[in-house]
Chains A and B, each alone.
Chain A
Amino acid sequence: MSRFRKDSKKETPELNMGSMSDIIFMFLFFFMVITTMREASLKVKFQPPSATEVQKLEKKSLVANIYIGAPIAKNENTLPPGEVSVQLNDQTIKAEDLKADVRDFIGTEKESRDAQDRDRLTFSLKVDKDVQMRYVNTIKQELRANNALKINYAAGKKVN
């Protein structure tokens, strides 16, 4: 009369692992898509200052980066007196070409966006926290002269 019959002969069915790997692959693709590979390798030391009131930028595709910091390699171009480099795209710029290079950089960055996105293009100043303001001011002047007015001071989030 036992209702629960124990039949020791029955084996536990084998688990189908196929769908598990499907799920893992989904995760994998998710992470592959959201990770951004840095398109330009950094030539300058960049450690952002931290601040409490940071805001996230809306769209990554509408951000152009300007790096300012101490050069990592010795033979990089620097601005006088020779302690700080400015990196646009993947190279540091020469002091005498600064104006032309920044203008070209802004031009090409604007060109590569759709017409309606051009005004929303943000220039993110990724400046090392030890840099003196004189270099930042120079770049800001050039940005202003070339009508690239939306800027962003890159900063890390400070946790209190």
Chain B
Amino acid sequence: MSKRKTPGLNTGAMSDISFLLLTFFLLTSSINTEQGIPRKLPPPKTDDSKDVKVDINRRNVLNVLVNFRDEISVNGDVILVGDLKAKAKEFFANPTNDPSLPEKVNKPIDGIGDFAVSKGVVSLTNDQGTSYNMYVQVQNELQRAVNELRDETALQYFGKKYDALDSAAQRAVTQAIPMNISEAPPMDYSNNGSN
């Protein structure tokens, strides 16, 4: 009697169950990667830095205003979001050395050599009543302008797009095309009564 074999377990059903669990997790899981537009806030005001006012030449500033009706004006001209990228790109690049666009300073940069770095600063002012969506769109367009310029510079000096570069080259390109956004304190022209 000891020779009797134990009957083989049918494990097909087990794989069925684990398939069920697998599909459950497949459907319910959202691989929600944290993504967004990263920004750095300026360091908090200290008493000794209170009265320091940096004199910036008018030509070096691109005034971007977003009002409570989500309308955008750039240096006084009302434009649409779609045109902001082109404006910002022209402002940062200044390909023709136009005297009304920001000046450039030659700086030695590792891996690139001498590069005319723009001194342009985007001054972004929003209204308290601006919608967050429009604010993100504006930030996005500015980022897009800088990213395209960085891609162009990267292609020119390293033959690859910015994302494909190693970190040292990326740092060099970032130095060549800095992104300077300064956020002015928000205005409040919307007549909501609060604030």
Contacts and interface: CB of A to CB of B under 8 A. Distances in A.
B130 interface: yes
B182 interface: no
A147 B193 CA distance: 31
A133 to B, nearest CB: 4
Given A27-B22, A153-B139, A49 B15 contact: no
B7 interface: no
Contact of B39 (A51, A137, A153): A153
B124 to A, nearest CB: 11
Contacts of B195: 134
A32 B29 CA distance: 8
Given A124-B36, A151-B40, A53 B186 contact: no
Interface stretch (B41-49, B100-108, B112-120, B152-160): B41-49
Contacts of A156: 35
Given A63-B34, A147-B43, A151-B41, A133 B11 contact: no
B147 interface: yes
Contacts of A154: 34-36
A143 interface: yes
Tell me what chain B mostly uses at the interface: helix, strand, loop, or mixed: mixed
A122 B128 contact: no
Contact of B129 (A57, A134, A140): A134
Contacts of B36: 48, 51, 54-55, 57, 124-125, 152-155
Given A31-B26, A53-B147, A134 B186 contact: yes
B172 to A, nearest CB: 19
Contacts, number: 157
B127 to A, nearest CB: 7
B34 A133 contact: no
Nearest to A36: B32
B6 interface: no
Interface in A129-155: 129-134, 136-137, 140, 143-155
A52 interface: yes
B144 A52 contact: yes
Interface string B132-155: 110111011001100100000000
Interface in B166-195: 186, 188, 192-195
A32 B28 CA distance: 10
B14 interface: yes
Contact of B131 (A17, A130, A149): A130
A129 to B, nearest CB: 4
B15 A133 contact: no
A128 B34 CA distance: 15
B96 interface: no
Interface string A51-82: 11111110010010000000000000000110
A121 B130 CA distance: 28
Interface of A: 14, 16-18, 20-21, 24-25, 27-28, 31-32, 34-36, 48-49, 51-57, 60, 63, 80-81, 122, 124-125, 127-134, 136-137, 140, 143-157
